[in-house]
Chains A and B, each alone.
Chain A
Amino acid sequence: MELVTPDIGTIFWMLLMFIILLVILKKFAWKPILNALSNREKTIEESLRSADRVRAKMEQLKADNEKILAEARVERDGMIKETRQYSEEILKKAREKAGEEAKRLIEMAREQIKNEKDSAMEEIIKQVAGLSVDIAEKILREKLKDEKQQKELIEKLLKDIKLN
């Protein structure tokens, strides 16, 4: 029955050695290890939390950036639109002005042409009248060359006047 009989010598040595082991390990192994483990867990937890915070901040920054970008884009679009409108307006005005100027010039030209034409007509009339008088003079001279013809004409003219 030696197998199941506790032995006093073994009890003594086992107690002694196990207590020494327990004390040494408790002081120099378990305490530092467990402390290190819990500290590390705390550090990891904190790091994760701060990483979360940083991530949230980053998201916010990103959102802000996007907002700013969107605003800038809107502003740019607005500016482009305004500029286009403005330039169109300028163009329109310029076109209108040009049209008016052209009309004015055409009007002026027309008037001048008319004046020129009138004066030219007067000249022509004058010349035609002179020429006609000359021609009439020449014709009369031709017709009143001999006496017979002069009498005939006077008679004819007198006849006309008498009749009147």
Chain B
Amino acid sequence: MHSILSRKIISYFLGAMLFLLLFAAQPGQQDHPGEKLQASLTENTEQQAAHGEIENGFSPSDFIFDHILDAYDWHILSYKDFHLSIPLPVIIYSGTKGLNVFMFNKFHHGHSDYKGFRYEIKGENRGKVVEIMEDGSSALPELDLSFTKNVLAILISIIIMLWVFLSVAKAYRHRPDQAPTGMQNLIEPIILFVRDDIAIPSIGKHKYERFMPYLLTVFFFIWFNNMIGLIPVFPGGANVTGNITVTMVLALFTFAITTINGNRNYWLHIFNMPGVPWWVKYPVPLMPVIEIIGMMTKPFVLMIRLFANMSAGHIIVLGFFSLIFIFGEINPALGYGVSVLSLAFTIFMTMLELLVALIQAYVFTLLSAIYFGMATEEHH
């Protein structure tokens, strides 16, 4: 818990520092930061939007957000005019054009339209594939099920997880009742930790078994994706657990399992809380409303906590790298000088992130287990 706190302090401090540097780098535009961002976005027509290189200078916010947001392709590296990226399938359904599946490189990074669709590089739908209407205006399609960068990253992490856990399971089947070897040594203590220190104390010895598959899956999913996100090069570096959609789905799983497994006692506490005066329940159902809001806030908090922690980690590291380019624009020598400092801080932050990756997986799993425990607790 202490490390999360100190990490937040660091992130606030760095955020403040970053803003100061933004103004220092561009003394001509000392207006509102939001307007400045908008200004830089509108100017960003010809140049590569994906790499934060803007005509009138380096924009750290574009640089950072292009890395932590989802994308239709997976950018690997750029050198001068050469850009290496993996194009991913765009899967779009629209009422007028039906289902369309094609690779993202058909757009040539927004330089050309394809099949009546366009990749927006400016405006309110920036970074989205939009449908070009008959009157020339553009609108978001009805359904965009594109296989994006985050989806590919999830797929990669799932393949790694399947490989790891199926081979470990095989080892258990082939060598029963023997001491663990190899990867079992790595996985077994964590499985035992989830079972003995998360599931059993939170849910109880008699009911925990039902929830073990989900708790283990969610723990390792978050941990593996956090760790893969720390790897700076492909196939790592995607901000999967810092994506609000991913954390939302995970939180919804916890919510669904809690709600499905809620016993009589659980619902009784929500709709007719025992031990409180009757007038907080009838005629105005004050307690039930509070309890139902509480039901909702629990998964909401899970979603926000994981998303914010992991995104913050990525933002801080990218912020350090931005410093190199900000100073480099003032004077190349200054950029080189700052790069040493930036690297040192990045290494330090990555070490911290290694810890945070585990802590966040632990916190998510522990809170899920506590909610399951609350849902299945017997009246006593």
- Using a CB–CB distance below 8 Å, which chain A residues touch chain B? 2-15, 17-18, 20-22, 24-26, 28-34, 36-37, 39-40, 43
Contact = CB atoms under 8 A, between A and B. Distances in A.
Contact of A18 (B69, B145, B188, B249): B249
Interface of B: 65, 68-70, 91, 127, 143-148, 150-151, 154-155, 158, 161-162, 165-166, 168-169, 172-173, 176-178, 187-188, 191-192, 195, 209, 212-214, 216-217, 221, 243-246, 248-250, 253, 307, 311
Contacts of A11: 245, 248-249
Contacts of B192: 37
A9 B145 contact: yes
Given A14-B249, A21-B158, A28-B166, A3 B145 contact: no
B248 A6 contact: yes
Nearest to B214: A22
Contact of B177 (A20, A31, A33, A43): A43
B136 to A, nearest CB: 24
16 contacts: A3-B69, A3-B244, A3-B311, A6-B248, A7-B70, A9-B143, A9-B151, A10-B148, A17-B155, A17-B158, A25-B217, A28-B166, A30-B165, A33-B168, A34-B195, A39-B176
B100 to A, nearest CB: 13
A143 to B, nearest CB: 144
A25 B161 contact: yes
5 closest A-B pairs by CB: A36-B172, A29-B165, A26-B213, A10-B245, A13-B151
A20 to B, nearest CB: 8
B212 A18 contact: no
B225 to A, nearest CB: 11
Contacts of B177: 39-40, 43
A148 B158 CA distance: 183
Contacts of A3: 65, 68-69, 244, 311
A32 B245 contact: no
Contacts of A37: 172, 188, 191-192, 195
A9 B151 CA distance: 9
Nearest to A43: B177
Given A11-B248, A25-B213, A33 B172 contact: yes
A8 B191 CA distance: 33
Nearest to A35: B172
